[in-house]
Chains A and B, each alone.
Chain A
């Protein structure tokens, strides 16, 4: 049976405690209201995770969801998400990942796999068209993510096509609060510490091998839209060399005015190099936090960042890596001559967090650490943060060689950084102190170390400086998943070009003064709310953030949703639905005792005290006003950030 909708209409619910596995059929109304992907996960987890549940206990539920548009003939919609209550922040946690796993959930016939309970012994979940069972995972427990995936690919299924695997590594098994979930041998759903949730359930992996067809209401229309979108993706004029990107960044820094960014420029960079195209451009622009948010673009100038210039990565890339249904292919597989021979091309976030953020110029070490962390299943952004935090504590004399097992943790000491991450991954000695992220490390070290911890709601923010773009400051602070860079910023808003299709949201002029971004918190909040709504839609459909940079006219997300499901909603209708889904996530946080006010990002990242040099000199953010206006955009209480009790009651209609 093939449905003429983009969704399959069923979910799989697994209880590891009792071993029960059952299918649930969901009514169409659920999809019409919550779409799919992240929206579906929010709807079900909000109703089914009891208040006060221990994130590492049996009551927490882990959801694996593909997108509403995955496999319907649309492009860029091959991303899956994992969601649950985060042990890192104590509230809503989700992580997004690409690779080739997303369509497999649908091919098994489900719009989501929901896993609760705790297994006595290590197990993995195996699902195909005939079998749904929990199998003993004692042979793969303890293996790293690449070894485990290779073993399960060959041993879980006897014949036919290879199954798709998501698994945790040793970091997740050891309940590191900054561990993630891996697929395709090193693509990570890394944030929110959900690897620890999977580890606490003693669930090593989920292995899927389905054959079902994924439907669409009007596949020809889907394809027509895809071809239109693809035209823009394939447009690739010749572009400068890697190090020259630094000059583009420097130009953006010194200009008092900003030309509103069209995402096509970024698309061209991504297609040529991937996210590493920003390795030199971002620090020059002031978009990269340096030296644990203390430094500036002056500390990480052209010469320092040169060792990680984009061409270094392009030159050792042997094949491009495309996520499912992606015509762009920003990823890649690189060769390296180290303990490991191959690694996924390190992303910009990884290179910066283990590079400039720690003042580390050793590119070989970054390659090695990238593969080491991928195999361990640990988040590179949080790991880089933890290392930089330790470096600063060492500099300040709060910790000494005695505490660090003899490591000389000076800024940029490549050998010490590699040794420290190796310890973190194994949870040995001083590594144990850092293995649960900065928040826990600050508590364990004490002695006033928390002054150097830059956090948003317990999560380490990403490698985009909030002083350079107030949008990042806002989203780091107000999102139900704080500290995340993939949800919105002023720059993203320019690239989304949403005002071209959605009515009633602020329009950005083709050119504006840099300083204007820091004024008018009300407008910034309206921009932020539109960003949040749109990114919620992107995460519901399984679409990719980078694709949405193409702009709403070139990336026809709203039209795809209509064509895939036979709906006739306007972009504004979808934005309203997204607002409700966003409210569910916020209600989840409130239900679990999170105070939205407390998720505000640390002062250092807000320009308090002001930076005295570099790209963000003298920049500070009036975050409190922006937060209030943002919350009011969704009809929440402007003082506390909480949805009203009536709203929460209305949403609590569980399924």
Chain B
């Protein structure tokens, strides 16, 4: 299963530029197409699409969200095992092992490149100990009231 682009698409290309798997093809100003074999169902296209032209794999229309409100991963170091599953799961490559502290030599993951985060939640999905949660950036929420 994969995401699907409906005829509402106006070919603005923003989804194709964002797609981490390079699964979206199409000419500018023409309806784009998602390659079933390449789509990894991260949903970034749906979140970014100004036309809300995307359907998720279950056929529901996806609402677009302003990028500043996209939820980002937050790591709970109390339960985190520093096993690297989330870092490997991230299709955007925006997670990195952080710096170890003097007390604890483990390199816990951190969001090294927030701008690249797609808010796909794969890190939280794959974490076996539920040490990753997705939370909307508090400063953006505060601004928006």
Contacts and interface: CB of A to CB of B under 8 A. Distances in A.
Interface in A598-644: none
Interface in B99-145: 100, 105-107, 122, 125-126, 128-130
B107 A130 contact: no
Contacts of A75: 81, 83, 128
Contacts of A212: 40
A75 B84 CA distance: 11
Contacts of B85: 324-325
Contacts of A227: 128-129
Q: What's the dominant secondary structure at chain B's contact region?
A: loop
B73 interface: no
A41 B126 CA distance: 27
A418 to B, nearest CB: 28
Given A1-B2, A234-B81, A325-B83, A320 B128 contact: no
A7 to B, nearest CB: 17
B85 to A, nearest CB: 5
A332 B97 CA distance: 13
B91 A211 contact: yes
Contacts, number: 92
B128 A226 contact: yes
A322 B128 contact: no
B84 A100 contact: yes
Nearest to B80: A327
Nearest to B36: A1
Contacts of A73: 126, 128
Contact of A320 (B38, B82, B90): B82
A329 interface: yes
Interface in A67-90: 71, 73-75, 78
Given A1-B1, A211-B21, A320-B82, A161 B128 contact: no
Nearest to A229: B128
Given A226-B128, A233-B81, A2 B41 contact: yes
B83 A320 contact: no
A318 B100 contact: yes
Contacts of B83: 75, 322, 324-327
B41 A320 contact: no
A335 interface: no
A648 to B, nearest CB: 38
Interface string A196-225: 000000000000000111000001001100
B13 to A, nearest CB: 16
Nearest to B128: A226
A129 B81 contact: no
Contacts of A318: 100, 105
Given A1-B2, A129-B38, A327-B81, A100 B106 contact: no
A317 B128 contact: no
A273 to B, nearest CB: 11
Contacts of B84: 78, 100, 322-326
Interface residues of A, number: 39
Contact of B21 (A129, A219, A327): A129
Interface residues of B, number: 31
Interface in B30-72: 36-38, 40-41
Most buried by B among A103, A324, A327: A327
A326 B84 CA distance: 8
Nearest to B100: A319
B92 interface: yes
A240 B83 CA distance: 26
A316 to B, nearest CB: 11
A213 B85 CA distance: 12
A71 B89 CA distance: 9
A237 interface: no
A129 B37 CA distance: 10
Interface in A101-158: 103-104, 107, 129-130
A312 to B, nearest CB: 15
A442 B124 CA distance: 55
Nearest to B23: A129
A48 B97 CA distance: 41
Contacts of A647: none
A443 B37 CA distance: 54
Given A103-B88, A327-B83, A160 B93 contact: yes
A317 B2 contact: no
A319 B92 contact: no
Contacts of B92: 160-161
Contacts of B22: 129-130
A584 to B, nearest CB: 30
A320 B107 contact: yes
Contacts of A71: 88, 126
B40 A319 contact: no
A410 interface: no
A226 B83 CA distance: 12
B96 to A, nearest CB: 10
Contacts of A324: 83-85, 88
A323 B38 CA distance: 27
A646 B52 CA distance: 63
Contact of B105 (A103, A223, A233, A317): A317
A160 B17 CA distance: 12
B100 A161 contact: no
Given A103-B88, A213-B41, A320 B106 contact: yes
B37 A1 contact: yes
A376 B88 CA distance: 27
Given A233-B81, A329-B82, A319 B128 contact: no
B20 A211 contact: yes
A195 to B, nearest CB: 25
B82 A211 contact: no
A304 interface: no
Contacts of B40: 2, 211-213
Contact of B20 (A160, A222, A320): A160
A485 interface: no
Contacts of A486: none
A74 B129 CA distance: 11
Contacts of B126: 71, 73
Contacts of A400: none
B86 to A, nearest CB: 10
Interface in A43-98: 71, 73-75, 78
Across the A-B interface, give the 4 residue pairs with the lowest CB-CB distance, nearest first: A161-B93, A327-B81, A226-B128, A223-B128
Interface of B: 1-2, 20-22, 36-38, 40-41, 81-85, 88, 90-93, 97, 100, 105-107, 122, 125-126, 128-130
Interface of A: 1-2, 71, 73-75, 78, 100, 103-104, 107, 129-130, 160-162, 211-213, 219, 222-223, 226-227, 230, 233-234, 317-320, 322-327, 329, 332
Given A219-B125, A324-B88, 14 more contacts: A1-B2, A1-B36, A75-B81, A75-B83, A100-B88, A129-B38, A211-B20, A211-B21, A223-B128, A318-B100, A319-B97, A320-B107, A323-B84, A324-B84
5 contacts: A73-B128, A75-B83, A319-B100, A322-B81, A322-B106
